[in-house]
Amino acid sequence: MRVGVETCEKEIYQVAEILNSNLGKEIELEDLLLQALMKNVYSSDIIFLLLQNLEEMGFIKGKRGSLIVKEEIGSEVLKDISKNIWEKISKSKKLFVTPLEVAKFFQCPRRLFLEKIILAKQYKEEVGKTWDGEAVHYSVNIFIKNLAKMQVEQLMEEAAKRALKKFNKKVTISQEEIVDFLERFYELIKKEGFTHILIEKKFESFKAGLTGTPDIVGIKKSEIIPIDIKLGKISEMGVKEEHLLQSIGESILVEEFFRKKVNFSYLIYFTSKSLVKVKITNEMKKKFLYYKRGIERMCKMGKIPSKGKLPNLEKRVCLGCHVRPSCENIEMVKRIE
């Protein structure tokens, strides 16, 4: 959570490097966006502001869905453009939040307030679910980044071993469970036929006031699909609302970056070995943005919000809350006569 945009000079130079490498050539906008993202350029808003400046100066010529680089872009030009773009975007006082923060706000406004505004001390368990989740995500990261370098079965074993070694004595899951998960994950990405699989890439939308890092983004010619990995399992009541909200927010981020509609996302559950395909609708987006505005209202009020009102809040949220001691102190003080 933060107010305003971050500096973007480095990202502007990264995009210019891609353009200069295509001097005299036509480049598809979607290819440019993908190459920029691979270089950790997190916002297409920056890219399009740069392209607008370059076209006005005659360095590029835009076409429908593509552009032609007419002249090499020098460092002095980029310096001036960077200054102009920064002067424009630095005026923003918009609150930027992550999809995960919106999901946490839905669960319990006070929890988010204590974590992100008060910066209350967080108490994490020494062994258990927190670290199990870290290990699963770490193994997937290793697996995807090395998929073209090693034999698949060997890579699964290696990724699981390295994850357990990194989080030694903190996890409760086994190597066999991680390998089993990676096998099912590999079947999914094979079935989808992704041309690119991006792992933990940051996205940011100036328009939406969102920033975040989806676990995975799978790209193929007809679809762009955000994928979120959850340690737990689906309850008898179905997918938790907070999981849906996070998935929707990440879909908005991906959609805003590529300027291309995201039709659905995936939620993968480690414990229950479940895969959920989430259809992204306008109503779901409106609901997500409603809770995002709730965070903005909470920040403007400047006072400690109440606890969440979810059914079974104690079991569902409080038991695993990292700022529970601070919250309990607040409740204690409220009882003073």
Task: Domains for the chain: give ranges and CATH numbers.
Answer: 2-89 (1.10.10), 95-293 (3.90.320.10)
Measured CA to CA in angstroms, residue 175 lies from 70, 94, 151, 158 at distances of: 54, 44, 18, 10
How many whole angstroms separate alpha carbon 52 and alpha carbon 81?
10
pTM, rounded to two decimals: 0.93
Q: Determine the pLDDT at residue 237.
A: 80
Q: What is the pLDDT of residues 156-193, one digit of tens each?
A: 999 999 999 999 999 999 999 999 999 999 999 999 99
Q: Determine the pLDDT at residue 125.
A: 85
Instruction: Pick out the chain residues at pLDDT < 50.
Output: none
Instruction: Name the burial class of residue 257, with classes exposed (0-12), middle (13-18) and buried (19+) by CB atoms within 10 angstroms of its CB.
Output: buried
Share of the chain above pLDDT 90, in %: 83
CB of 288 closer than 8 Å to CB of 281: no
Report the DSSP pairing between strands 203-205 and 210-212.
antiparallel
